[in-house]
A and B are shown apart, each in its own frame.
Chain A
């Protein structure tokens, strides 16, 4: 037979690794991406006539109970109904044994690809991330892989936290969606496999206790650390990775927020993401932040900036009075 064209070859390679969708209402449109947990496809829901994101999760050999556990956990995630969390529409097992999630197809750009937003807008995005993550924490779910690549910003400014594939359900340290045993991903994620001594997450965004590989040590403060790392990236680079002090790059109160969020010891971090969000919002509004002890001059400067409009009005009034007195007061 004739040799295959490049187009046919590419399709065949995708098809040979593609999910077996027999018996489902979905058909693959194309491949969107590949991550630590498996492959994400753009798929068509034939019944509802809409495109969705279909995540097909690879399962390691010799773990027959994992599919059932993942189904239970996926149902937990499906209950996380929040505007900042990508909704799960459907969960199931394909005939080839792999678990799939049908999720809302998010349009927009991942956070690390946004380059034109100002600092205030970037801080607003971080606050939205905190809100979504705080909601998940309140429902006993820790993300464990927060990073710019997992935050999508939509065309209307909506912020969505993606990829809950490594999420941990609080209360059962052995339960996680991190079951992929294949090393080497396209997004830098350290490949997971549930259990003690195995590292889950992405270097640069992983809290030290998470990098140590003990799931019992990981709690909501690991997500605080990761959001701190996202904030660090958004505030002018990657000072930790490059061995530089964040304070060289950003205003001191903001650098203090980052330092506190990324404190090596969990007890020295913000107790939860809500507290972190409060400080970020305070900085954005020009208020005092809890992470930074400002001196008198700094406080005066901050208040001057914070209340610049009334101060300028008063100064203008005084100047006008002085001018009036100087001209007509004799």
Chain B
């Protein structure tokens, strides 16, 4: 009861590793978790166009990998997410200043980044138009970055849940979860009875399947969150803000 998820190694520890392979694997995980918030943040806060934002995103991670700048994170001073955003701000400001000698892309390459998909997601963002973006203040910027980071974290966990349900032959469980928790259509949320009728299962199974999927989702989110936090304290804080509860306060 109450133990931290320990199945994934800490990404934050990994990027500071002296072992190139370990560092590489950790960086891939880091890029997977953060590229979307970084790209959208550059687009909105720094008001760069699509190509520029995509280049700056790739360059930021490439430069960080080459120089090991993110490995110099000190957990006592800030959360890793905040540290990364501050590094990003510094990087973009310098790049804009040194526009003439900008070197695109860097030497390193990471997991494929689907900027077109990110751009599509951004099209529905309230701050994506010029007026709203111009009105952003520091708090908004931090909220924006955090919101996109949370979105990425949950998207990743939902994808993992879908994959594990399919692998285990639990597609109905995922279907219940998808209809009840994921479906964001403007229609009224279905009742358990409606779902049971739709999927030809007893109402009690809807409750059980939903509970299973949510339990798994929570586990997957916490697992990923743990890997992206530098310390147990940071993990506790993030989990509490993210899920509204202490990750240790519930039996496994």
Q: Which residues of A contact B (CB under 8 A)?
A: 1-5, 7-9, 11-13, 15-18, 20-24, 27, 34, 39, 44, 46, 58-62, 95-98, 181-182, 184
Q: Cβ of B29 < 8 Å from any Cβ of A?
A: no
Residues of B within 8 A of A39 (CB): 244
Interface size on B (CB < 8 Å)? 43
Residue of A whose beta carbon sits closest to that of B244:
A17
Given known contacts A3-B36, A16-B214, A182-B246, A11 and B181 CB-to-CB distance under 8 angstroms: yes
Residues of A within 8 A of B182 (CB): 4, 8, 11-12
Q: Which residues of B contact A (CB under 8 A)?
A: 1-2, 36, 117-118, 121, 124, 150-152, 154-155, 158-159, 162, 181-184, 191-193, 203-204, 207-208, 211-212, 214-215, 217-218, 221, 240, 242-246, 248-251
Residue of B whose beta carbon sits closest to that of A26:
B207
Q: Report how far A239 CA is from B204 CA in the complex, Å.
A: 54
Q: Are A15 and B240 in contact (CB under 8 A)?
A: no
Residues of B within 8 A of A17 (CB): 218, 243-245
Residues of B within 8 A of A58 (CB): 245-246, 249-250
Q: Are B242 and A4 in contact (CB under 8 A)?
A: no
Residue of A whose beta carbon sits closest to that of B163:
A1
CB distance from A102 to the nearest CB of B (A): 15
Q: Are A9 and B243 in contact (CB under 8 A)?
A: no
CB distance from B3 to the nearest CB of A (A): 10
Residue of A whose beta carbon sits closest to that of B159:
A1
Q: Are A2 and B211 in contact (CB under 8 A)?
A: no
Q: Are B250 and A96 in contact (CB under 8 A)?
A: yes
Q: Are A16 and B217 in contact (CB under 8 A)?
A: yes
Q: Are A21 and B246 in contact (CB under 8 A)?
A: no
Q: Could you pull out 30 A-B pairs where Cβ atoms are within 8 angstroms?
A: A3-B36, A3-B118, A3-B121, A8-B182, A12-B154, A12-B158, A12-B217, A13-B150, A13-B154, A13-B242, A13-B244, A17-B243, A17-B244, A21-B211, A22-B208, A22-B212, A27-B207, A34-B244, A44-B191, A46-B192, A46-B193, A58-B245, A58-B246, A59-B249, A60-B249, A61-B2, A61-B249, A97-B250, A97-B251, A182-B240
Q: Report how far A34 CA is from B151 CA in the complex, Å.
A: 23
Q: Are A9 and B151 in contact (CB under 8 A)?
A: yes
Q: Are A1 and B162 in contact (CB under 8 A)?
A: yes
Q: Are B249 and A8 in contact (CB under 8 A)?
A: no
Q: Are A4 and B251 in contact (CB under 8 A)?
A: no
Name which of B2, B118, B218 has the most chain A CB atoms within 10 A of its CB.
B218
Q: Report how far A18 CA is from B244 CA in the complex, Å.
A: 10
Residue of A whose beta carbon sits closest to that of B215:
A20
